[in-house]
């Protein structure tokens, strides 16, 4: 077997022992990845998802007889296959996720500190639950539109339920096995965009856009809980992501006043977004409080974007240029809304939200690059083996 010699810092980072094996994975013609071979690691998702799947199938079978539906179980409805998957399968899936996430806590301690792990535990769990519920609700709504009024026998229903339950449990364990900061960013994307789009589609009022974006979270909307819960979970997930990144930055490059101020501003922005979800834009004091909190979001975001060059002086010109471009686009959209009245209030809110959300993702990507995408140059030397020595 060929032997490879690594610099000490890489040797320590991979936590290698003498004569331990590593694997080289080809990425492209001129790049590859070095990875430690973990002989103890196995595909846990392919093994352990069977147990919660069998438990959920037994529960489904019992409820089918309890509700006296052994002959025909509809695809959608209150006592249907869709309801069983959304409640029973998702509940067992979340228990699977929590168990796997807790069991791998010592592994996660190497990616994040123990304090960050427990800070993000509840946020990550609720976010995964919301994603799974939204995904299954959307899937069965779509299937219900295609196969309207269809029913299945007990055997077919149990078989279909087992398939959906198995997929959910497998995905839960797989997410834990591959969990990283990039997964948290993707979760933020899915929760925010998926929650808002589904709230628009199911609010029950086709002309909601004629008033404002916040109408989706009021009593006038059939899906107000969904809209408000999306805001709350997105805010919690963003706050956890900010905490994760900045604590890791402090561990790597030390504590700096400018970065601490930026973390406080972003955290306050996340808290304000959560309060917007907790305080719907209904009449009375709730309307006043909702507007005040929404204005605080604008204030914290404006300070963060305009002061980004001062907060992160080493971030790079691309972030600065995009920040000022986004500010210019928001100002243009504001002028098109208020003085000119070309845009509606809802259009202005959606445009502003989209631009600010894009800036936050750009900022998170920049901070992640500051954390892990550092390049270091090594001098290349070719190993001289015994055959070459004999020839010389």
The conformation of residue 340, written as its DSSP 8-state character, comes to: S
Residue 209 falls within a domain, yes or no?
A: no
Calpha distance 53→167 (Å, rounded)? 9
Q: Provide the residue-wise pLDDT of the chain in tens; the chain has 392 residues.
A: 677 777 777 777 677 777 777 777 765 666 677 777 664 554 555 567 888 899 999 998 888 777 666 677 888 877 788 889 999 999 999 999 999 888 888 777 766 677 777 877 887 888 788 788 878 887 888 888 888 888 888 888 889 999 999 999 998 888 888 777 777 787 778 777 777 777 776 666 666 666 677 777 777 777 677 778 888 888 888 888 888 788 878 877 777 888 899 999 999 998 998 888 888 878 788 888 888 888 898 899 999 999 999 998 888 888 899 999 999 998 998 898 878 888 888 888 888 888 888 898 888 888 888 776 666 666 666 655 545 445 54
Residues 46 and 142 in one domain: yes
Pairing of strands 22-28, 31-36: antiparallel
**DSSP string across 195-214:** HHHHHHHHSS-TTGGGT-GG
306 and 370 inside one domain = yes
Task: Judge if pTM exceeds 0.75.
Answer: no
262: nearest Cα among 315, 316, 300, 298: 300
Same domain for 237 and 370? yes
Judge if 55 and 37 occupy the same domain.
no
Instruction: Say if 206 falls within a structural domain.
Output: no
CB atoms within 10 A of CB 318: 10
Indicate if 18 and 87 belong to the same structural domain.
no
Domain assignment of residue 3, given as a range: 1-41
Clarify whether residues 58 and 160 are in a common domain. yes
Check whether residue 307 and residue 325 sit in a common domain: yes
Q: Provide the token pair at 51.
A: 């147990």
Residue 36 DSSP SS3: strand
What CA–CA distance (Å, rounded) separates 114 from 119? 9
Q: Tokens 């002309």 identify what position?
A: 207
Neighbours of 276 (CB within 10 A): 24
How many helices (H) and strands (E) the chain has is answered by: 16, 4
Helix-helix angle 224-253:257-278, to 10 degrees: 170
In a domain, 337, yes or no: yes
DSSP string, 289-302: HHHHHHHHHHHHHH
Q: Are strands 73-74 and 22-28 parallel, antiparallel or unpaired?
A: unpaired
CA atoms of 206 and 204, how far apart (whole Å): 6
Q: Does residue 30 sit within a domain?
A: yes
Q: Are 350 and 338 part of one and the same domain?
A: yes
Q: How far is CA 281 from the centre of its chain?
A: 26
| Whether residue 142 is found in the same domain as residue 260 | no
Number of domains making up the chain: 3
**Is 213 part of a structural domain of the chain?**
no
Element holding 33 (H helix, E strand)? strand 31-36
Cβ atoms of 257 and 310 closer than 8 Å: no
Domain assignment of residue 392, yes or no? no
Q: Are residues 2 and 51 in the same domain?
A: no
Minimal CA–CA distance to 168: which of 259, 67, 114, 88? 88
Same domain (yes/no): 13, 130:
no
CA distance 127 to 175: 12
Specify the 3-state DSSP secondary structure of 27. Answer: strand
Task: Indicate the length of the chain as a whole number.
Answer: 392
Q: Is residue 379 part of a domain?
A: no
205 inside domain: no
**Residue pair 355/332 in contact by the 8 Å Cβ criterion:** no
pLDDT attached to residue 168: 92
Angstrom CA distances, 57 to 82, 158, 171, stand at: 14, 7, 17
Six-digit token string for 100: 């796997």
303 and 318 co-located in one domain: yes
């Amino acid at each position: 077997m060929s032997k490879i010699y690594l610099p000490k810092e890489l040797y320590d980072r991979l936590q290698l022992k003498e004569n331990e094996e590593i694997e080289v994975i080809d990425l492209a013609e001129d790049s590859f990845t070095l990875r430690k071979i973990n002989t103890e690691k196995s595909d846990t998702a392919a093994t352990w998802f069977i147990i919660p799947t069998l438990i959920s199938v037994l529960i489904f079978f019992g409820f089918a007889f309890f509700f006296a539906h052994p002959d025909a179980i509809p695809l959608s409805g209150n006592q249907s296959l869709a309801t069983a998957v959304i409640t029973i399968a998702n509940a067992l899936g979340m228990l699977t996720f929590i168990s796997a996430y807790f069991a791998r806590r010592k592994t996660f301690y190497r990616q994040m500190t123990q304090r960050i792990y427990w800070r993000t535990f509840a946020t990550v769990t609720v976010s995964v639950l919301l994603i799974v519920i939204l995904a299954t609700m959307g899937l069965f709504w779509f299937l219900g539109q295609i196969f309207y009024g269809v029913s299945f026998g007990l055997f077919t229903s149990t078989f279909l339920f087992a398939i959906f339950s198995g997929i959910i449990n497998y995905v839960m364990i797989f997410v834990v096995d591959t969990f990283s900061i990039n997964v948290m960013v993707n979760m933020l994307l899915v929760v925010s965009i998926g929650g808002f789009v589904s709230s628009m589609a199911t609010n029950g009022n086709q002309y909601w856009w004629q008033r404002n974006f916040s109408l989706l979270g009021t009593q006038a909307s059939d899906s107000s809980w969904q809209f408000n819960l999306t805001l709350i979970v997105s805010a919690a997930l963003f706050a956890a992501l900010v905490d994760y990144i900045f604590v890791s930055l402090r561990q790597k490059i030390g504590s700096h006043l400018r970065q601490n101020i930026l973390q406080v501003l972003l955290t306050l922005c996340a808290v304000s977004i959560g309060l917007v979800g907790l305080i719907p834009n209904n009449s009375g004091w709730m309307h006043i409080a909702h507007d005040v909190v929404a204005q605080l979001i604008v204030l914290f975001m404006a300070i963060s974007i305009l002061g980004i060059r001062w907060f992160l002086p080493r971030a790079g010109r691309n972030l600065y240029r995009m920040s000022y471009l986004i500010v210019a686009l928001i100002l243009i959209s504001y002028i098109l809304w208020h003085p000119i009245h070309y845009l509606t209030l809802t259009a202005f809110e959606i445009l502003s939200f989209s631009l600010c959300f894009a800036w936050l993702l750009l900022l998170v990507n920049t901070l992640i690059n500051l954390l892990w995408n550092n390049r270091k140059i090594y001098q290349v030397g070719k190993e001289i083996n015994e055959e070459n020595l004999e020839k010389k």
